Structure 1
C-alpha cells in the first residue's frame, strides 16, 4: 500500500530517490523497494558496528585499570564521540538520505545538522589530540610523562569538545541569519563558513600531517641509529616498515574518509557549482564511516585491547573481578 505525504513547498528540486518518488505536485509517494530495504539494512548495520566497536573500547578503558593512562583517555574521548555518531548521526542521516528533509521541515534538518557538525568535528579534533600525544611519546620520550599528564589530556579533551560545540552553534546561527537577511549577510556567512571549515578540518589535518611526518622522520633516524650500533640491516628494515605501515594506515584512512567530503563542502560553500545530491550524500556517508573504522585503527592495533575485547565478549568480566588483570 502506498502512503502519500503532501509537501507545502515551492521551487523544490529533488532528484529521484530509491525510496521516495516526487511528482510535479510535490507529493511524496512512499514505495518500499528492494534497493530501499537493502540501503536501510546496510546503513543500519554500519550504525550497529560503529556502536558496538566503540562500546568495546569504552568498556575496556573504563573497566581495566591497566588501561587508565593519559593516552587511553584521549582514545576514550574519541570512542565516546564516535559512539554518539553511531547512535545519533547515523540514524538521522539515514532518514535524511531517504527523505531529503522533504516532509520533515527545517527543524529536523537543523537538529541533524547540529549533531553531525558537533560530533564529527569533535571526532576530528580528538584524532588531532591523539597525534599530539604520539608526537611527545616518540619524539620527546624523556619529557613525555611530565607534559602529557592527566591534567593536560583533560584540558585537551575539554577544548576539543568546546570548539566542536561552538562551531555547531555558529552553524545554527548562520542558518537563522540566512533565512532572515538573505543576501545582506552574505559576507558574514562566508566568514563563518570559512572559519568553520578551517577549524573543523583543514587546520587539524595540517597539524596531523606535520606531526606524523615528524614522527616518521624521527622513527627513521632512531632506526638508523640502531643499525649503526647493531650493524643489522634486518632491524632497520623491520622498524621502518612498521612505522611506515602505521602512519600510512592512520592518515590514509582518515584522509580517504574525510577529504572528499570537505573538498565537496568547500566547493559548494564558495561557488555555484552544481553537485548531484546522491554524490554529496555518498561523500557524507564515507566521512561518517571513519567513526566506524576508528576502533579498528586506534584500538585493534594494540594487543592489550584485543585481550580486553576477548574477555568482554566472552563474558569473563561478569564471572569475576578482572579489573586488575594484566593484559600485556
Structure 2
C-alpha cells in the first residue's frame, strides 16, 4: 500500500477510534446517570457498549501504530500478536452478539408488550449476558488451542484470525455462527417492524390514555420505518465487505487487494463508533406507535 493510502488509513482509524470512545462513553454516562432509561435488560446495552469502547481503546490504536510504523510488523507466534488478535476477536464477537440480543429485547418489547416483563426479567437478562461472554471467550480461545490460528496481517495492519484455507473450518464456523446469523437475525427483526409500521401507517390508529384518545399520524410510523431501515443499512454496509473479503481469502487461498482488505477492516471497526448512535435512534422509536396491531 502506498504511503499516502497508509496515511489516509491511519487517519480514518484515528477518527473511528475517537468517535467510538466518545460515543460509547457518552452512551454509558447517559444510561448510568438517567434512572428513567435503566431497565432489567440494561446489561445487554452495557455489554455491547463496553465491547465497542474497548475496541476503540485497544484494536483501533494498535492498527494506527502498525500503519505508521510499516513495514515493521509482529511475529505471528509472539505473545503480543496472539494476545491482541484474541482481544480483537473477543470484542468483535461480543459486540455483534450483544447487539443482537439487545435487538431481540427491543423487538420483544414492541411485539409482546403485555408479556414483556415476564419474558425479560433481570435474572434472565444476566444469564444472557454471561452466556454471550462465555460463548465469545470460547470462540476466541479456539485458535489458541489449535483450531484455526492468529497471524499478523500486513494488509490489515492487525493481528487477526488467519483467513487461509488452512483455517477454513474455523473461519466458516465463526463467520456463520458468530457473525452472519446475528446480522440476519437483526435485519429480519427490523424488517418485520418496518412491515408492521407500514401496515399501521395505511390503516391509522387511535391511542388512548387515562384522559382521552388521540389519532397517531402516519408520519410516526413512517419515521419508525426510516430508523429501522437506516439501522439495517448501517449493519450491512459495515459488515458485508468484511465478510466477503474474509470468505474470499479463505476459499480462494489468494490474498485480497490490500485496499479492499484495509477498507473492509476499517468499516467493521467503524461499526463500534456507529452502534451508540444506532442505539439512540432505535430507543426514540415509540413502541406503542408501532405495535398497536393487536
CA RMSD of aligned residues (A): 2.9
- Residue 299 of structure 1 pairs with residue 271 of structure 2: no
- Residue 136 of structure 1 pairs with residue 108 of structure 2: yes
- The alpha carbon displacement at 1:189 in A equals 3.5
Q: Tell me, what secondary structure is at the counterpart of 1:299?
A: helix
Runs of 4+ in structure 1 off by over 6 angstroms are: none
**1:113 counterpart residue number:** 85
Distance 1:101 1:301, change over 3 A: farther
What TM-score do you get using the length of structure 2 for normalisation? 0.78
2:200–2:221 Cα contact (<8 Å) kept: no
Greater shift after overlay, 81-90 or 59-68? 59-68
The 5 Å alignment of 1:11-26 reads: 16-18=1-3
**1:157 counterpart residue number:** 129
- The alpha carbon displacement at 1:167 in A equals 1.5
2:12–2:266 Cα contact (<8 Å) kept: no
2:93–2:136 Cα contact (<8 Å) kept: yes
- The alpha carbon displacement at 1:110 in A equals 2.3
- Residue 145 of structure 1 pairs with residue 145 of structure 2: no
- The alpha carbon displacement at 1:120 in A equals 0.9
1:224–1:236 Cα contact (<8 Å) kept: no
**2:169 counterpart residue number:** 191
What TM-score do you get using the length of structure 1 for normalisation? 0.71
- Residue 206 of structure 1 pairs with residue 184 of structure 2: yes
Q: Deviation per CA, 1:221-278, whole angstroms, max 9, x where unpaired?
A: 4444535999xxx945313311211111111111111111011111111122441223
Distance 1:100 1:204, change over 3 A: farther
**2:258 counterpart residue number:** 277
2:198–2:225 Cα contact (<8 Å) kept: no
Q: Deviation per CA, 1:119-176, whole angstroms, max 9, x where unpaired?
A: 1111111111111012111111111111112112212222222222222111333345
Distance 1:97 1:110, change over 3 A: farther
Q: Deviation per CA, 1:264-311, whole angstroms, max 9, x where unpaired?
A: 1111111224412232011101110010111112126657xxxxxxxx
1:139–1:218 Cα contact (<8 Å) kept: no
Number of equivalences:
263
- Residue 63 of structure 1 pairs with residue 33 of structure 2: yes
Structure with bigger gyration radius:
1
Distance 1:41 1:177, change over 3 A: closer
**1:321 counterpart residue number:** none
- Residue 94 of structure 1 pairs with residue 64 of structure 2: yes
1:93–1:112 Cα contact (<8 Å) kept: no
Q: Tell me, what secondary structure is at the counterpart of 1:70?
A: coil
Distance in 2, Cα, partners of 1:298 & 1:90? 21
Structure 2 residue ranges without an equivalent (≥5): 152-163, 209-214, 285-294
2:148–2:166 Cα contact (<8 Å) kept: no
Distance 1:221 1:141, change over 3 A: farther
Distance 1:113 1:100, change over 3 A: farther
Distance in 1, Cα, partners of 2:74 & 2:168? 27
Distance 1:256 1:187, change over 3 A: closer
